[in-house]
Amino acid sequence: MIDSYNAHYADNTLYLFSVGSLTWEGHDFLDKIREDTTWNKVKKKIKDKALPFTLEVVKTIASELLAASIKAL
């Protein structure tokens, strides 16, 4: 989801880290969880179902919540 990044080390410790840009998938993901209510619903579903808190699980649940909101319209 990140197009490019740079990590700079000094004395074997991370000194500086920069991110170039997001991919289209990164922008899409952030759009899905942008609203605090959506993000909180995603976290609650993960906790209630004891699911692993992985990026794929978050993306799936956020997509399903968005689809349900659109269907309700």
pLDDT digit string (tens) for 12-50? 899 898 988 999 999 999 998 998 899 999 999 999 999
CA quadruple 36, 40, 42, 45: dihedral, nearest 10 = -160
15 Cα distance to chain centroid = 25
pLDDT of 5 over the 90 cut: no
Query: Quick one: pLDDT at residue 28?
Result: 92
